[in-house]
Amino acid sequence: MSRHYDCSDPIQRARGIADAASCLRRGEVVVFPTDTVYGIAADAFTPAAVRALLEAKGRGRDMPPPVLVGSVRAATALIDDLGPYGQDLIDEFWPGALTVVCHANPSLAWDLGDTKGTVAVRMPLHDLALELLRETGPLAVSSANLSGSPAARTAVEAQEMLGDSVSVYLDGGPSSAGAASSIVDLTGTLPKLLRRGAISEARLRTVSGVLLRDEFLGDEEEDDALTSAELAEEEAAAALSLQKDLADDDVDKPADVKLTKDTGTGSDVRLTKDAPDEKPDVDLTKDTGAGPDLKKD
């Protein structure tokens, strides 16, 4: 039976985060609030847990979940290449409602679904979400709803749809934004908007300088009028579009290699436009480093 924690109470919040982290380590799924909508989460490095997440939503492997991180340093270990525009975008919008699709680090041993060698990554701007993520490490997270239904804006709405398929519901009150994150594909030569969301297309273009838009998207002026159901449809179309774009790419199969534990000082690592040849060793089970410096130079 699912457990529900009212995180406005400090004691319940502490107990809820501890319970949720424990469940995630056992391969179970939990629901928690983010800065956009409520999310359903599983350990990104436990394939059975990711399958349980997709089954709870009624999704298949053709729509792999994004990965949420608690720091820029954690994202560094997941991303192989940000491209020439990614750094400016995350400097401006992370933590926040921007999901970036990048080529994944090929050394990661995980199975998020049919990703074609990519990963969608976001760092949320929500204290409860970040606290949980820094306790657990990167999590596979999708909107807490049945596939095709509007995203849940409260823990109660999520529980009505997902029921006992979720072990723990962390109730942080109504989501403040109510809109899903904007998704930008950075795997090509130029950034491409795959899904409109909380960050307008105009703001994204102002930062990146150039922004392609997928053919299924409507007029830019329609951004503010999008409903949750329409955003859900765009999310599905975005996944199919990305699959199509990458279908002919020669992507190496990820090696079955685990990242080793970081025994260093835990200092922040800043993502750069020119990706280094070697990735730093990072402990993906728990982020104990200081918060990232997200200010521009």
CB 172 within 8 A of CB 128: yes
Q: What is the mean pLDDT of residues 278-289?
A: 45
pLDDT tens-place string over residues 10-34:
999 999 999 999 999 999 999 999 9
CA dihedral (239, 243, 249, 251) in degrees, to 10, reads 70
What pLDDT is attached to residue 141? 98
What pLDDT is attached to residue 244? 53
Residue 124: CB atoms within 10 Å: 25
Q: Is 227 exposed, middle or buried (0-12, 13-18, 19+ CB in 10 A)?
A: exposed
Say which amino acid occupies 183.
I
* Closest to 30 (Cα-Cα) out of 172, 166, 175: 166
The CATH superfamily label for domain 3-246 reads DHBP synthase (3.90.870.10)
What pLDDT is attached to residue 264? 41
pLDDT tens-place string over residues 52-75:
999 999 999 999 999 999 999 999
Q: What residue ranges do the domains of the chain occupy?
A: 3-246
What pLDDT is attached to residue 131? 98
Q: What percent of the chain has pLDDT over 70?
A: 72
What pLDDT is attached to residue 214? 84
Highest mean predicted confidence (pLDDT) among 20-29, 270-279, 280-289 = 20-29
Q: What share of the chain is helix, strand, coil (3-state, %, to 5)?
A: 30, 15, 50
Structure tokens at 69: 């991180």
**Residue where the block lists tokens 């909508």:** 37
Strand-strand pairing, 192-195 and 182-185:
antiparallel
What pTM was estimated for this model as a whole?
0.76
CA distances from 21 to 96, 101, 110, 135, 136 (A): 22, 26, 19, 7, 6
The DSSP code for 126 is: -
pLDDT tens-place string over residues 136-179:
999 999 999 999 999 999 999 999 999 999 999 999 999 876 68
Cα four-point dihedral sign 287, 277, 105, 216: positive
What CA–CA distance (Å, rounded) separates 211 from 205?
6
What pLDDT is attached to residue 178? 64
DSSP output for 53-117: HHHHHT--TTSPPPEE-SSHHHHHHHEEE-TTTHHHHHHHH-SSSEEEEEEEPTT-----SS-TT
> At 192, phi and psi to the nearest 5?
-130, 130
Q: Which residues pair with 103 in a beta bridge?
A: 81, 118
**Residue where the block lists tokens 């994150």:** 181
